Structure 1
């Protein structure tokens, strides 16, 4: 039995040639492609409740910790004969590949297993899309003003019925 290291010729988990992660052996960590990272590679740590992405951008190392519930679902992307199973996030740069295969039976079973383990829906996706627009906060002013000032009405226009212009003032003297 030979050692399974990167130098022995056996593809490690997450290599670009054959990506097949086992959903029953979580937690797992692997390297994935990232075009914005310094070396084009990011380190992904996949757990049942969370995902940690580690990468360096312009020398700055960062770790992004996401809950699995923040992801939209397990999506199947079809490109010609080879299809990819991904953990889909609303931001395409945070989407994580789980399985690359051309065997539809293998993909179907992996798709169901990943969906059951993470309790996420199974989705179809034709191609990676644009990132979703940033969500607005519920009330932007609320953080800046006290609550009683938010519900208080502002000053209205002056009542013009009681304003007398160009008239002489009448003063009563005793």
Structure 2
């Protein structure tokens, strides 16, 4: 018999429960509210989500005060030409990569003149890409608070069909932006 895994820590349980119970609109509303409180804005660079992250923010009334816009760089060459992702990095590691998503987020921040940049890259499926399985996703968040650089989250392995992988990516990006850097920027305490 296989050993029983230990129960999740309280923070892991909280994280899992939040993602299961909060809607995309609730998360996006929180992000918009927190950015407004901080007097800051966000820009996005999306690949596999193809604008769904930006649409989630734009659906919130008053989001124009905090959401600057973004770039859908679905094609590999656009990640380099529009977001300045290093072509050698793409050639070596492919586009489904933590370093690539950080450069995408930084490119979004620069292109939109926002304090925060969010990037999404991954494989929605049904086929693998660059040797990565469907469901493999990275989210990047860039902020001037990190000495002008960003941070990658992932790789995540989101199950299900394309729509499920894309929605899970939007939820993850909103959740990370809300509960990590944006919460810090607004002075909110957990």
- Per chain length, whose mean CA-contact separation is higher, i.e. which structure has more relative contact order (CA < 8 Å, sep 6+)? 2
TM-score normalised to structure 1 length: 0.23
Q: Looking at CA atoms only, which structure, 1 or 2, has the larger radius of gyration? A: 1
- Considering fraction of residues, name the structure with more strand: 1
TM-score normalised to structure 2 length: 0.22
- Considering fraction of residues, name the structure with more helix: 2
